[in-house]
Amino acid sequence: MFCYKICLLIIFLICLATINPLAAIGNKEHSISFEISGYKYQEVKSDGEEFISIVGERYGLSYEYLSRKSAKRSSFWSYQGSLSFGDLIYDGVSQKGDVKFKINCRTDWYQEHRLLYGLALSFNDNASVVMPYLGFGFRGLFNRVNDYNYIKDGNPAKIFGYDRYSMYLYIPLGIILRWELDNEWLFSLNPEFDLFLIGQQISGIDTNGSGKPTENAQHGGYGFRISSKVSKKIGDEFTVFLEPFIKYWNIADSDKKFYSVVESGTIKYGYFFEPKNNTMEYGVKIGITF
């Protein structure tokens, strides 16, 4: 399966290498938007039961550059970048599983960068455009869980928070459908499947006293997203738009990181891994294209 993913990536890179950016100068778009969304990350047991969740609202900015050779049938390429900040609540348990607690995440943000290449096929005197595409994407998320102070057996106790950083590499496979309506209105629909290539989970948990964070590789998973955009042309150079969207990730258990510790003169062995998890984000973008 992994070889199949690499083959798709190689095909994309070969296609990208054939692009002459100077030939695409005739038809290009820049888009800037603000977005707000609801967000839920959850880790689940093998039976599907949730035992950890991170829930809240996100606020972000997005930028997109799209370039086509002409308004007629042609290839296109696009760069998409976004930065999102979260106001989130961690609802879960301690590492030993003996204390359940809920607390604000101190810091949460993610960045995403995508490079897409595809065909732009125009119909009905350019009133309709079909744009299938293939690409390469990177997603990096940082999350910090605060320390949690509580009382245990009448005495002060503390659960130490830690940093989490997740990195995904994936292949977007999607299609953009655009329709030009009356009175300078436009509508588009963009379903996409995201083929997960590989990920890396870095957790600020020192499992063996080395002072280094724990790293786990991730190989299994997938994602999908869908959005619809309603746009209104303002003059010849600007278009304002409203774009509802849904993004979803489903990631399998990571590789296991084995470790050993000495407790009371006895060597104990264990392992640490990132459990199966999924992320749902739904929201809306408001922006301008020029």
Q: What is the pLDDT of residues 123-166, one digit of tens each?
A: 887 789 999 999 999 999 999 988 777 777 778 878 777 888 99
pLDDT of residue 24: 33
Closest C-alpha to 245, from 80, 119, 94: 80
pLDDT of residue 74: 83
Q: Model confidence over 246-280: pLDDT tens digits?
A: 999 999 999 987 766 666 667 767 777 888 999 99
- Mean pLDDT for 111-127 is 90
CA dist 205 and 78 (Å) reads 38
Backbone angles phi, psi at 48, to 5 degrees: 90, 0
Q: Among 33-37, 38-42, 206-210, name the one with the lowest average pLDDT.
A: 206-210
Q: Among 12-26, 138-152, 209-223, name the one with the lowest average pLDDT.
A: 12-26
- Residue 227 in contact with residue 248, Cβ under 8 Å? no
Does 287 or 156 have the greater pLDDT score?
287
Q: Which of 139-155 are b and which e, b meaning 16 or more Cβ less than 10 Å from the residue's Cβ?
A: bebbbbbeebeeeeeee
CA dist 157 and 178 (Å) reads 58
pLDDT of residue 150: 77
CB atoms within 10 A of CB 254: 23
Distance of CA 221 to the CA centre of its chain: 12
Confirm or reject CATH 3.40.50.10490 for domain 2-289, answering yes or no: no
Does 16 or 95 have the greater pLDDT score?
95
- Residue 53 in contact with residue 42, Cβ under 8 Å? yes
Give the pair of three-digit tokens for residue 85. Answer: 């900040």
User: Which of 16-25, 44-53, 265-274 holds the top average pLDDT?
Assistant: 44-53
pLDDT of residue 153: 74
Backbone angles phi, psi at 246, to 5 degrees: -135, 135
Instruction: Report the mean per-residue pLDDT for the chain.
Output: 85
Q: What percent of the chain has a predicted confidence (pLDDT) above 70? A: 83
